[in-house]
């Protein structure tokens, strides 16, 4: 778990709490209790409330660095209503985004570390309206439809240091993806990225030409369930398909006794999800993620039993959740890397963990994230904050979509208290408002495909 960057914040002595361990509880809570019925292999009875918080603190990062004064970029005054900064203890200015000068010598993207840089204000954002995109954007993530009144978080653009790349454009994206298929496979944060991308491509406008091609991938609603295991849409104009498949664990789940209604599931830590095995030959870009479902409570509640090498796991070291997750992430990256040799047209990304921000408590003990300002604007570290993800892709041709640190300073971007279906007093400091931070993940994805 090292590599989690946690720091003391402002003068209010709040802490950013980044724990993978308990995240699944909130995912379960929002996912199963309020949004969806249980999935195959997902039970309703998550009784384990053992929450393992990883708490630590280190000195605050320089808030604005020293760039406010020295930078040639324009600065603006902000008022409390439109501010994205805390005016009490820090400089009350945010750099305004300036489009790059085409004459500037561009740094090769290969050499560029997209995870290092700063957030600057860009009034051309967001790329779609949170009042729109009803075709793809779930109401529960559309903060514009809630009581929230501060929306400065929609206007920050991530500017990687020393990188130049084309900004996202829907038509450009489709052109690049002509006759191609992009697949997101992962948990609900992957689903957020999927919805974000659909909205970004369409600018949030309703599109009657887009076809639902879920059937081609077996993504149909099973009898008795409220939603399918994923969605697939095709833009006929360029024959581009975008799909999302729900796989919270990113490993293969198999009923141990298919004839038993309450069967346990073999959770094959070292085997990729069957869906991915089956369809990878048809994908041109895959974006994988997992992380927030790895805890004992979740495994027990879902009746997931760890298997390794096709047999129940007997290795006590692997039985430790962190090691099991590590094994799965390394295994899937290794497997996908092998597939890259078979399919030269395939590009694969592993998306690093999306950070959560529960202050003064956890998801079930009054933890909050109701700041309206970012914790910081700059990320200067070179290494990923997700050491498992960066370790797993090292030496492979799978690329790291490293969003952890840049999202980690954006605590104000979560659904927070405005979660429309949560119990009063509980905040969603795991999922993000859309439009919002996941749009940036897609900007960085676009820059690399």
Ligand X SMILES: *[C@@H]1O[C@H](CO)[C@@H](O)[C@H](O)[C@H]1NC(C)=O
Residue 31 host element (H or E)? none
Question: Could you tell me the smallest distance in angstroms from the CB atom of residue 421 to ligand X?
Answer: 30
| 163-202 residues near ligand X, rule: CB under 6 A | 179-181
Q: Where are the alpha helices (DSSP H) in 380-432?
A: 387-393, 404-408
Applying CB under 6 A, among 11, 239, 277, 423 the residue interacting with ligand X is: 239
Tokens of 93: 């200015």
Q: Residue 2's CB: how many other CB atoms inside 10 A?
A: 9
Q: Pick one of 249, 326, 354, 390: the residue that binds ligand X (CB under 6 A).
A: 326
Q: Report in angstroms how near the CB of residue 345 gets to ligand X at its nearest.
A: 10
Q: Identify which of residues 102 and 342 has a Cβ nearer to ligand X in the complex.
A: 342
Q: Which is nearer to ligand X, 326 or 416 (CB)?
A: 326
- Cα dist. 182→16, 72, 445 in Å? 33, 39, 11
Smaller CB distance to ligand X: residue 400 or 434? Answer: 400
Q: Is 58 in the site for ligand X (CB under 6 A)?
A: no
| Minimal distance, residue 26 CB to ligand X, in Å | 23
The residue behind tokens 């960085």 is 444
Tell me: cis bond preceding 225? Omega within 30 of 0 counts.
Answer: no
What phi-psi label fits residue 409: left (phi over 0), alpha (psi between -120 and 50 degrees) or beta? alpha
Judge whether 254 and 268 are in contact, CB under 8 Å: yes
Distance CA(379)–CA(55), nearest Å, equals 20
Give least dist CB 55 to ligand X, A. 19
Query: CB-wise, 113 or 360, nearer to ligand X?
Result: 113
* Residue closer to ligand X (CB basis): 75 or 364: 75
Strands 285-288 and 265-268, bridge-based pairing: unpaired
- Pairing mode, strands 347-351 and 285-288: parallel
Q: Which of residues 284-323 bind ligand X (CB under 6 A)?
A: 303, 323
- The three-class DSSP label of residue 139 is helix
Question: Which strand (E) or helix (H) includes residue 440?
Answer: helix 437-446
Contact window for ligand X (CB under 6 A) among 42-50, 269-277, 308-316, 377-385 = 377-385
If the CB atoms of residues 128 and 275 are measured against ligand X, the closer one turns out to be 275
Size of the site for ligand X (CB under 6 A): 21
Between 102 and 261, CB nearer to ligand X: 261
> Is 108 a residue that touches ligand X (CB under 6 A)?
no
Q: Is 77 in the site for ligand X (CB under 6 A)?
A: yes
Q: Which is nearer to ligand X, 338 or 366 (CB)?
A: 338
CB of 408 to ligand X, least distance (A): 16
Nearest to 251 by CA among 227, 269, 229: 269
In the bound state with ligand X, the residue whose beta carbon lies nearer, of 351 and 417, is 351
Long-range contacts of 167-173, Cβ-Cβ distance < 8 Å, separation of 24 or more: 167/443, 168/127, 168/200, 168/442, 168/443, 168/446, 170/200, 170/201, 170/202, 170/203, 172/446, 173/200, 173/201, 173/446
> Which region, left, alpha or beta, applies to residue 364 given φ > 0 means left and ψ of -120 to 50 means alpha?
alpha
Q: Tell me, residue by residue from 253 to 272, as one string, x for binding to ligand X by CB under 6 A and - for no binding.
A: ----x--x-xxx--------
CB of 301 to ligand X, least distance (A): 12
Interface stretch with ligand X, choices 50-58, 138-146, 203-211, 376-384 (CB under 6 A): 376-384
For the bound state, the minimum distance from the C-beta of residue 140 to ligand X, rounded and expressed in Å, comes to 32
Q: Read out DSSP for 35-97? A: I-PPPTT--S--------------PPPPSSTTHHHH-SS-EEE--TTT-SS-TTTS--EEEBP
Helix locations, 311-374, DSSP H: 316-319, 321-342
- Lookup: tokens for 84: 């994205």
* Minimum CB distance to ligand X, residue 10 (Å): 14
Residues in 418-437 at the binding interface with ligand X, rule: CB under 6 A: none
Smallest distance, ligand X to C-beta of residue 87, A? 5
157 or 325: whose CB is closer to ligand X?
A: 325
- Of 82, 281, 380, 423, the one binding ligand X by CB under 6 A: 380
Chain positions contacting ligand X, by CB under 6 A? 77, 87, 92, 179-181, 239, 257, 260, 262-264, 303, 323, 326, 330, 380-382, 388, 391
């Amino acid at each position: 778990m090292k590599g989690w960057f946690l720091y003391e914040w402002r003068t209010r002595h709040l802490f950013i709490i980044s724990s993978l361990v308990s995240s699944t509880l909130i995912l379960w809570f929002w996912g199963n209790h309020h949004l969806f019925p249980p999935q195959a292999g997902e039970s309703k009875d998550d009784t384990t409330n053992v929450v393992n918080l990883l708490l630590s603190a280190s000195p605050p990062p320089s808030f604005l660095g020293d760039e406010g004064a020295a930078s040639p970029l324009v600065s603006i005054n902000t008022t409390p209503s439109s501010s994205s900064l805390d005016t009490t203890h820090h400089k009350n200015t945010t750099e305004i985004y300036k489009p790059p000068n085409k004459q500037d010598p561009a740094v090769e993207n290969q050499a560029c570390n997209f995870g290092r840089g700063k957030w600057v204000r860009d009034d051309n954002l967001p790329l779609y309206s949170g009042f729109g995109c009803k075709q793809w954007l779930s109401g529960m993530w559309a903060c514009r439809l809630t009581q929230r009144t501060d929306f400065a978080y929609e206007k920050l653009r991530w500017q990687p240091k020393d990188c130049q790349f084309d900004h996202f454009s829907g038509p450009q994206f489709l052109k690049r993806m002509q006759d191609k298929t992009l697949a997101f496979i992962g948990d609900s944060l992957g689903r957020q990225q999927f919805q974000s991308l659909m909205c970004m491509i369409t600018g949030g406008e309703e599109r009657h030409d887009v076809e639902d091609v879920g059937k081609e991938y077996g993504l149909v609603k099973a009898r008795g369930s409220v939603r399918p295991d994923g969605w697939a849409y095709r833009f006929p104009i360029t024959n581009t398909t975008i799909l999302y498949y729900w796989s919270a664990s990113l490993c293969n789940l198999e009923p141990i006794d298919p004839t038993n209604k309450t069967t346990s599931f073999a959770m094959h830590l070292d085997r990729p999800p069957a869906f991915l095995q089956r369809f990878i030959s048809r994908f041109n870009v895959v974006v994988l993620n997992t992380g927030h479902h790895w805890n004992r409570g979740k495994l027990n509640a879902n009746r997931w039993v760890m298997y390794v090498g096709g047999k129940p796991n007997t290795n006590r070291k692997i039985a430790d959740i962190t090691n099991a997750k590590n094994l799965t992430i390394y295994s899937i990256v290794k497997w996908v890397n092998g597939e890259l040799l078979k399919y030269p047209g395939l590009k694969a990304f592993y998306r690093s963990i999306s950070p959560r921000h529960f202050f003064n408590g956890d998801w079930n003990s009054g933890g909050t994230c109701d700041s309206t300002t970012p914790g910081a604007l700059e990320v200067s570290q070179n290494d990923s904050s997700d050491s498992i993800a960066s370790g797993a892709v090292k030496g492979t041709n799978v690329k790291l979509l490293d969003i952890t640190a840049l999202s980690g300073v954006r605590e104000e971007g979560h659904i927070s208290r405005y979660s429309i279906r949560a119990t009063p007093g509980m905040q969603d400091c795991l999922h993000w408002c859309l439009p919002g931070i996941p749009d940036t993940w897609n900007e960085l994805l676009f820059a690399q495909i």
